[in-house]
Every structure is written in structure tokens, then in C-alpha cells.
Amino acid sequence: MGMKPRENCCPHAIIQNFINFDFTVSNIEAAKKMFLPAPLEPRADEDGDIILTCGFVDSAFPPMREVEGETPDPNTTEFSECALGMSCTVNGKPNIMNTWILLDHYAGALRRGFNRSVIDNFSRTRNHPMLEGEEHISIGSRMFATCTNDGSLYARASLTVKEIHDANWLDEHFFDWGQLRYLPDMAHGDDVKPLIQQASLYHFPSKFEVSKVYVGDGKLEFGDTLYGLFQELGEIKIKRAFFVTFAYTYGSEEFLCDAK
């Protein structure tokens, strides 16, 4: 694109701020139908719970944004998303399959191979520049995030920080992310077999940077957008809630399986 990153720019391709909620639902059958096409199978944690995840994410591409000369339009170097996934096993490998990823850019959705509803408004509590530094988030800090679609609530959540940990606190499979690539057969309607429906896994190189993990009490609520689809999950109970920032560069991408 003819842009030259400035000196001392972050070496990674992407930086993400991530408010994550691990939760259980009362209607696990609806969750499996919604999130895990065959042959994916749900995976229970050490307590026997099948975990769903909801992440409110805002991202930036440092090599594209931190350039010499005039700063590029942020619409081309930043994006936000709300990612919904379910803990599962794929060919014996633990995974979080992010079946629903709603982005605030159609281009991002097409790039990843999704054809899902796109959020048109994403808001998250920002850290004030005067409070930047090692302790810009502390015990008692509160964060909020909302996503809406055409004025209807998709999801809202809040986090009150109670504990601060290093990156080792994260689950060993936290960075084992799968994504369901889904592209419908538009010529014959959305009710027939999609042209593409595959499960893929992104590998993250060992050299990525992770901030402290800010853990606390969380609340999560889904609205009635998408015809109340996520209301079918039933009662939601938050098991873990935390905020973390990490920077990485995508490594190889592994095709896991055809999803039915």
C-alpha cells in the first residue's frame, strides 16, 4: 500500500483489547445447535461445565496505523467485534469455536469468510490517557461494553476488577481459537446447504505479548436482535470475567474439518 511503519512501531500485526466472559447456559441443547455443527463436540471443563464465551474486542493494526506522514483513516486500520464461541473438541484437540463473530465492518466479515449479521455500533469503556501506565486499571475499576444492530441490543456486559494476575492465569487453551467459515448459497436461499461451511484453526506463534489479566465480577445480557435468537440459550451464569490486551501476528492456519 506504499505505507512505511514508523521506527519503534509495535512489531506485531494486530493489537486487541479483550473483555471476555466465560458462561454457562440452561439450554445446552440450543447452544450446541447454535454453535457446534457436526462433527464438533462440546468439551466440559474441570467442573463438568460446558463453557460458552463472549468477547468484546477492539483491534488495531500497528503497521498500518503507525506510519510516517499523515495518519491513515481509522476506519481502515481499526475495527471492533463481538465474538461468541463454545468450548469444543475437534479431532481430539481442545478448541474455542467462535461460530458467531459480529464485526462493525462488512469488509472484515468477508475477509474472514463469515456471512453473519454485522453490528453497527460498538462501545467500550476506554482508559483515559492521563491514567495510562502500569496501573491504569486497578482493583475496583469498572468497564462496560455494548453492541447494537440497527438500534436493537445485541449484547451488553460489565466487569468490575477484583484481582490482577499475570498471563499465566489464562487457560492453557485460551489462544486455541477456531472459526467457522460460513458462506450461504445465495442463489438458492439461506435454508439450503451453504457453499462453504468449514472449521479452521488459527495458530499463534510463541512470541506474542500479553498484558496483565484483570479478573473480576461480570454481567452479560443478550438483547432481542436476530429475532431473539440468543434468548433461546436460557439462563446465563458467568463463570469467569476478565480484561486482557495482547499483540500477535497470525501464524499458519490449519483446516480442521468440514462442518455439517
Other CB atoms within a 10 A radius of the CB of residue 82 amount to 23
Residues 173-187, mean pLDDT to the nearest whole number: 69
Give pLDDT, residue 10: 65
Residues 138-158, mean pLDDT to the nearest whole number: 89
Residues 158-174, mean pLDDT to the nearest whole number: 92
Cβ-based neighbours of 185, under 8 Å, separated by 6 or more: 192, 193, 194, 195
Q: How confident is the model at residue 93 (pLDDT cuts 50, 70, 90)?
A: confident
- CA dist 260 and 258 (Å) reads 6
Residues 31-38, mean pLDDT to the nearest whole number: 86
Give pLDDT, residue 234: 94
pLDDT in tens, 191-238: 556 555 666 666 565 567 888 999 999 999 999 877 788 889 999 999
pLDDT in tens, 7-19: 565 667 778 889 9
Give pLDDT, residue 28: 94
Contact 48, 77 (CB under 8 A): no
∠ CA(147), CA(148), CA(149), 5° rounding? 135
Q: Is 31 helix (H, G, I), strand (E, B) or coil?
A: helix
Q: What b/e string do you get for 2-18 counting C-beta neighbours within 10 Å, with b at 16 or more?
A: eeeeeeeebebebbbbb
Which position has the grid cell 498484558? Answer: 211
